[in-house]
Structure 1
């Protein structure tokens, strides 16, 4: 569930069902699918579903209303030739009463706070896309049949608003402004609305062209995808009952990016009705053919990088790291400058905790420094894979800077078997000083070494309070007797991590993924989300100046200890493609 919503999952489940059953009817002409869909729609307007008034579809949390309106619109359109006049009249009446009229009320009461925040408050994110899309689908479905003028009125409001909200949710580098998971909800709404307008009117009304960076978002999705999991920073959202990555198929076709289509067509969420409309079966080839292994996303709002050793080997290395601003993500981000994930051997070794409890007190209310959101462990800096200074949260007004980045620009060929060249590497460095109090300088860098078989993470930092390096893992962690090396194990796979040139007193320890005992108190009766099976790997240092270098060595099959290398110690300011040769 999302915030105060009680029926968002229900509405999306109805939409998922209606899409499937209406599509089955279009493919088979078997009216049993019409009958089953009609029963589903009747239930959604029955006395037992929501209050018996115009707020039945919960417009106070307008996502619910929008998704249910979209479900009814799909049924009205796809089953139109099989529905009776009474059934069509009933569906239209329900859409107008419980959906479109509520949308008009929201559009026209921006200052009242009466379920209008999804469009009136500069929402460049999934709310604007999903809500405007649901209203648009509903209006287009009954346009020509509706004698009340509601459909025309909705379109005069939804399209202009989507152009100033939804269409601008893509950053200049294609990154979705919320999180990698909310990309699914936002782009599903954006693609549904764009496609509906194109098929109904022949025009997308600027939804696909107003923002010149929209065409880049397929690359964002590809590079934010690791092997089995996303670089899933921030909130991951509610259930994706009706949200998929099939927007990639529409974008790939519209923007002439066949690699988007080829990437998505084999994904687990590809087989659903939208793909039957948006997939171009004439597209041929392999998405990984000539696809770079690395990509740098430099929009100041986001600032992140992605490296890998293969696009096709599920056991390959994948590393992603971020900086970016800590506000203006629709209150879905964490306080996570320097946060990273690491995959190898088919396993995620450094991972994310994801969403907290969306019903927690004031979870979404604010992203200001003193916001209650930042009291919950999964949102706090201590809940991320980064550095803490004085055990304090990062500053929300931070302006991190990308210092340098580089790649040998290797790209995979057409074969699924890829051999990494000896010289292949990539690196990324950032100045994160502005994110911290009690810190004179803090620069974090990450790079691949030794043919992308090892990863070096380095922190060059000067702080006047205690420093704590933290990483969250599902692995069992065994620290050796020296305290500067540890073996992480998940199943039969292992990764060794080592502090290089260890500062005096620096040792690896472990901790539970819970708030510190002296953290500011949670609100009364609030309970933090548990994190079972997670261990925090910790390196603590007193105030001072350090170059903390941590080397990660996945224990690759067939690779002996002598095959691993120990890189030289190089200040982050001097990193280059060849600095660690």
Structure 2
């Protein structure tokens, strides 16, 4: 009987899932139907009327559109194997110009958007060998076609919709290696499914069967990358790719909701709504992100956060976004999806954004991370971001156990982040091979020798290893996170546990508890910094930057000598790293013996205060991370 009910439940679940997709003839709203229905421009106007920051965004978009009027239409010029730069240029222009038309009804914006779309429609193809290029170009023309449909001449409509179908939708139905993204659990899946679904919804009446197939395929296959948010919302690919993958995912959900009054349950996927907390906590008091993996060093506006804030009715999620809006006026219009921010911010009052309540965030998953801070409102607050995970994650680096640290408005412990892909690919680097012996790991910014973690005998971390967070505590007296990093060093030693603590909101402890392997091992503890370094004792260094100071003190082992390592490139393919240095020490771990490395990071104001002796990690206050 139990088996019968289990089978029945499974059957009903499958039926429910099947019904949760398009079937038969679907009645879409008249154009415009994507993201912003007819008349909804008035909601935006009401929101920005009494909000200076959102007014700046609106006027910034219009000013950018006035620049576009002077530019020649996009041309089909590839950079290496990618047309992506041109697809993104077209997307920004069409999205901005279409927004400008809908909010001002000035003919110059309509005409320039039409000209841009016709230029892209005339390309021989949209480079299906690199399908992100197709996806973003399809999104561009879908928005323009839909939003400007009523005003476009019939000849332009035909040219644009034909291009969407023949250069966007139809190539996605061909079997080939360029369609790998349908089975991928990362940003490619999110971006490609979103772009193609926009195209399908825009031209649904012209090719209903094809459009329905593409939309239903997206509903099915986008669940793969959406599973990576489970269980807590940590996005494995890091800060930069959160913006890319998650924003396109939200675009898709938002478009479904507007056009079909359902998102097919996508927003309720486990962990997805929680990812807003992940992104919120990824930015430190300096405004810089925890930029592990292929992320840039600067923070940026994230339009999707406005969707999450409205969806969750939690304006505190926009705490850092408001700061970006206030400080980065000149750079806001670098974001090609910026009009979406104004669509999703409807009704939100940015002058009433409260500070978040929790000062610690932890997330499990394939790349677990933890972020701790002493305050949200103090610009001099201490901030630490640390990670476990694996180098094998998409866009991964050998940075397991790495961390960033800020105090007094300075980032003291840094991460290089990404090097431009084309700069490496053009020199023949096999960049996307993630195997242990890949050239990828020879790149300076990718291996563990240039991250804030450990190295043993100057060997690389094991790409197949995985480091979980095993415990944490959010007690302000000893806020901490503990990661078992043993498996990424399994051929080099028996055990490696790293714990990082923020003590009494005053200073940071980085403690490693190790156990040697079958032979003696040289251990290297290292930290990347952009500060000036002065070694003032065998176990103490003074870091200086922007008139502030931080002291790095090695508490254990006692007999070490701090030193620095250059970050200058030694190959023709590594990028230069001016103004940075690796600071740390080396010691020998005897065979099959335990050892402890304890390093303190002490802001100048706390230098004269008493520093307690660091307890073994087993005695740290902790909550099991289950």
TM-score, structure 1 length as denominator?
Answer: 0.85
2:142–2:199 Cα contact (<8 Å) kept: yes
1:530-567 deviation line (CA, Å, top 9, x unaligned):
222210002111233432211111224xx6x43x2222
Task: Indicate yes or no: 2:110 matched with 1:34.
Answer: yes
Aligned pairs, number: 526
Q: 1:90 offset after TM fit, Å?
A: 1.3
Q: 1:260 offset after TM fit, Å?
A: 2.5
2:364 corresponds to: 298
1:128-151 deviation line (CA, Å, top 9, x unaligned):
01001000011111222x157432
Structure 2 counterparts to residues 200-211 of structure 1, below 5 A: 200-209=259-268, 211=269
Q: 1:11 offset after TM fit, Å?
A: 1.0
| Structure 1 pair 554–264 and aligned structure 2 pair: CA distance change class (3 A) | same
1:219 corresponds to: 277
Please point out which of 157, 175, 180 is paired with 1:88: 157
Q: 1:488 offset after TM fit, Å?
A: 0.8
1:509 corresponds to: 563
RMSD (Å) for aligned C-alpha atoms: 2.6
Q: 1:153 offset after TM fit, Å?
A: 3.3
Task: Indicate yes or no: 2:310 matched with 1:253.
Answer: yes
Structure 2 counterparts to residues 425-436 of structure 1, below 5 A: 425-436=478-489
1:103 corresponds to: 172
Q: Equivalents in 1 of 2:230, 2:568: separation in Å?
A: 33
Higher fraction of helix? 2
1:341 corresponds to: 404
Q: 1:223 offset after TM fit, Å?
A: 1.3
1:385 corresponds to: 452
2:23 corresponds to: none
1:474 corresponds to: 530
- SS of the residue 2:512 aligns to: strand
1:416 corresponds to: none
- SS of the residue 1:307 aligns to: strand
Structure 2 counterparts to residues 295-334 of structure 1, below 5 A: 295-299=361-365, 301-327=366-392, 329-330=393-394, 332-334=395-397
1:31–1:82 Cα contact (<8 Å) kept: no
2:44 corresponds to: none
1:147-199 deviation line (CA, Å, top 9, x unaligned):
57432332233332223x23223231101122221000001110111111111
1:56-104 deviation line (CA, Å, top 9, x unaligned):
2111101011001101011011111221111111110111121111122
| Structure 1 pair 234–79 and aligned structure 2 pair: CA distance change class (3 A) | same
2:434–2:440 Cα contact (<8 Å) kept: yes
Q: 1:261 offset after TM fit, Å?
A: 4.6
The 10-residue stretch of structure 1 (382-391 or 146-155) with the greater mean CA deviation from structure 2: 146-155
| Structure 1 pair 17–540 and aligned structure 2 pair: CA distance change class (3 A) | same
- SS of the residue 1:479 aligns to: strand
1:2-54 deviation line (CA, Å, top 9, x unaligned):
995432122112111211111111111111101111122233244xx5xxx3x
Task: Indicate yes or no: 2:579 matched with 1:533.
Answer: yes
1:167–1:208 Cα contact (<8 Å) kept: no
| Structure 1 pair 289–530 and aligned structure 2 pair: CA distance change class (3 A) | closer
Q: Equivalents in 1 of 2:296, 2:513: separation in Å?
A: 34
| Structure 1 pair 356–158 and aligned structure 2 pair: CA distance change class (3 A) | same
Please point out which of 293, 300, 306 is paired with 1:234: 293
Structure 2 counterparts to residues 136-147 of structure 1, below 5 A: 136-144=197-205, 146-147=206-207
Q: 1:273 offset after TM fit, Å?
A: 1.1
Unaligned 5+ segments in structure 1 are 411-423
2:234–2:364 Cα contact (<8 Å) kept: no
| Structure 1 pair 231–103 and aligned structure 2 pair: CA distance change class (3 A) | same
Task: Indicate yes or no: 2:541 matched with 1:486.
Answer: yes
Q: Equivalents in 2 of 1:532, 1:171: separation in Å?
A: 38
Please point out which of 553, 568, 578 is paired with 2:602: 553
Q: 1:247 offset after TM fit, Å?
A: 1.2
Please point out which of 469, 473, 488 is paired with 1:402: 469
